[in-house]
Amino acid sequence: MDFNWYEWLGLPLIIFIARVIDVGLGTLRIIFTSRGKRHLAPLLGFVEVFIWVAIISQITRTATGLPAYFAYAAGFAVGNYVGMKIEDRLALGKVVVRMILSDGGEQVAHALHEAGFGATVVDGKGANGQVKLVYTIVPRRDLPDVTGIINSIHPRAFLSVEEVRSSQEGIFPKDEGRFLITAQRKKK
């Protein structure tokens, strides 16, 4: 009896790869939808469904063995992971970074301003006394730089980071390193 390479290796590999692409795109679509990227989500949905209808539905009709089922499940799991990793690499959108500092709030804000980021400082009262709350909204791709600046001044700073669905006005760095101050631009 001959070993059936296609049934045990070829077909499962095709199913795995198609499923990784299909689910990876689906994961990106869901992330983009939740972030309000209305122009990307439908395009990814189209490609995702096209792959499903054209490739996976045809393949799964002929897949009857355990290797094909395993490849289908593994492709789904890996596709989710791949989709999230791609989205992390793209680093689309903006985040708000909130800091609660017992001291050094003005220093952190000044360092952020020097680096081209906007920052707002607010006085507050915490469980152990007076604190400074520092807020900044930055492109997500700049988050490592911003947290590096904060940690270099205040290594024990309490930080929270959240996605920002939309923002307007304010100080946001341009790619060339200059400031984009929309409020000043509108006055001209």
Chain segment 122-163, per-residue pLDDT in tens: 999 988 889 889 999 888 889 999 999 999 998 888 899 988
CA–CA dist 63, 115 (Å, integer): 56
pLDDT band at 170 (very low <50, low <70, confident <90, very high): low
Percent of the chain past pLDDT 90, that is, above it, reads: 30
pLDDT score for 175:
45
pLDDT, position 38: 79
This prediction's pTM = 0.64
pLDDT at 186 over 70: no
Helix (H, G, I), strand (E, B) or coil at 76: helix
Phi, psi dihedrals of residue 158, rounded to the nearest 5°: -85, 120
